[in-house]
Chain A
Amino acid sequence: MKKTFIVFIALAICALSSCNPGKESIYKESRITMDTLVTITVSSSSDTVAKAAVDKAFREIDKLGKLLNFFAGDSEVTLINKSAGSMPVTVSKETLDVIERALHVADKTEGAFDISIGPVSSLWDFHTKTMPEEDALKEKLKLVSYKNVVIDRKNSTVFLKKKGMMIDLGGIAKGYAADRAAEVLKNSGIKSGIVAAAGDIRTFGTRPDGSAWNIGIKNPRQTGDDDEILAVIRLSDQAISTSGDYERYFIKNGIRYHHILDPKTGRPAYGCRSVSVITKEGVFTDAFSTGVFVLGPRRGMEILKKMGFDGIIVDSDGNILMTEGIKGKIEVKGNKP
C-alpha cells in the first residue's frame, strides 16, 4: 500500500512538472535565408517536434533559395538566363513549377506581372539612386515579354527565346517558398503555423486558442512607431502578400522612384501605394500583389474579383479599397495613410 502510494505521488509530480504536456504552445524561429528574414511560427505541444519540423522547413526554403536566386552564379535561374537565345535548360520540378505559375499570373494580369523584366530591373539601383538612361531602357524593354519564356513540362526544360533575356523570380519565389515550407511543416505533424518570408505570409490551422492568426498590414506611409500597422486581418489556411512603393525607393526632384516596375514602360507604377492580396496559396498572393499594383486600383480590383481573391489596395491618394470578402475580418487602424 505504501509502495503504491509513493509511486502514485511520484507519477503525479512527473505529470505535473512536465508542464501540461498536452497543451499547445507557440514555437517561433527566424533565420536569414533567400536574402531576407524568414520567420516560422508553429503551434505544438512538443518543443522537440516543433524544432525538428521548423528546421526541416528552413532546409526546404534554403534549397529553393539556391535554385531560384537571380544573383547567385550557380542557380538554375542564372543558368536559364545565361542560355537565353541559345538552348533550353533542364531544371528541377520546383523551378519549373514556379515559372509555370508565374506565366499563369502574367497571363491573368495581362503582363502586369512579368518575370522577364530582368534586363530592365537590372538597370535600376535603388540603393545608389541610379536611374536608367532612356536609350538603354528602350533597348532592354524589347527583351521583356513573358510570351518568350517557353516551358516544356515533359522534358522539364525552360527556354528564353531571345538572347539577353533574363527572368527574375523575386516577385514570386518567396510566396512559393512559404507554401512549400508550410507543406513540410504539415507533413512533419504540425497542425498550425505561419511561414513569413518577409512580407509573404502563409498561414495554416489556428492559434493555440482556436482563433485565426492576426496578420498586420504595414502602413505605406508610416511616420513613427505608433502608426506602423495600417490594418489587422484575421487569417486561417490562407496566404497574404503585400507589394508597396515604400520597400525599396529613392526620391529625386520630389518624385518617388520605387522598385515595382511596369513591364510595359520599365518605370515605376504609380496608381497605388500598397496592394495586399489574400488567397489560399502564397505563390499567387506574391505574384498577384505585384501585378495588381502595376495595374492600378480600378483595373486591379477588377482582376481580384475575377480571380475570386481578396485584397486591400491603398491608392496613390491614400484611399483604402477592399474586396467584399474581407469586410468583417479586418480592422483598419487610424485614419487613411
Chain B
Amino acid sequence: MRSKGTNHNTTFGDKVLLLLLVFLSVYSFIFIKEVMPEGSDIRIEAAGKLLYTLPIHINKTVEVNGPLGTTVVEIRDSRVRIKESPCNNKICVHEGWVRSGAIICLPNRVIVSITGKANKKHEDIDGITG
C-alpha cells in the first residue's frame, strides 16, 4: 500500500523518462562534437616532434630548432609563414603566407600545418600525386 504523502518510490514511467533524458543529453553531446567543426590551429613540428599547437587567430612568432638550426614561424592575421630558415634553398620562406595546407622545410625537417575548419583546401581529396 503506497502512502499518499511524499513518495520517494520511482514509477516505471519515471524510469523511462529518466532513461530518455540521459540518452538525449549524452547523444546531444556526441552529436555536437561530431557535427560542429573544430577550431583552426597551427601545428608546428620539428625533427619529428610536435612542438606547438597554436590558434590561428592569435598573432605570434615562435622559433623551433631543426638539424640545421633555427626556423622562425610567424602567425599573423589568421595566416602563417616561415619567416626565417637556415636551409640553403629557402623554398619554405619563398612560399610566403598561407591560410590553408602546409609549409614544409625538408632540409631543416620542419612541418607547419593548418588543421581544423580553416583548412578547406582540397578537403574532398585524400592525397595528391605529382
Contact = CB atoms under 8 A, between A and B. Distances in A.
A binds B: yes
How many residues of B sit at the interface, in one of the four size bands?
Answer: 20 to 34
Contact of B127 (A13, A194, A244): A194
A196 interface: yes
Contact of B126 (A37, A194, A230): A194
Interface string B113-130: 100000001101111111
Interface in B26-41: 26-27, 29-30, 33-34
Contacts, number: 96
Interface residues of A, number: 45
Interface in A28-81: 30-32, 35-37, 39, 41
Contact of B128 (A5, A218, A220): A218
B72 interface: no
A19 interface: yes
Contacts of A247: 130
A143 B45 CA distance: 42
Nearest to A25: B34
Given A32-B106, A37-B111, A276 B130 contact: yes
Interface stretch (A82-90, A155-163, A199-207, A295-303): A199-207
12 contacts: A13-B22, A32-B104, A199-B130, A201-B129, A217-B129, A217-B130, A220-B130, A228-B122, A232-B125, A241-B129, A242-B130, A276-B130
Interface of A: 5, 8-9, 12-13, 16-17, 19-20, 30-32, 35-37, 39, 41, 127, 194, 196, 199-201, 203, 207, 213-220, 225, 228-230, 232, 240-242, 244, 247, 274, 276
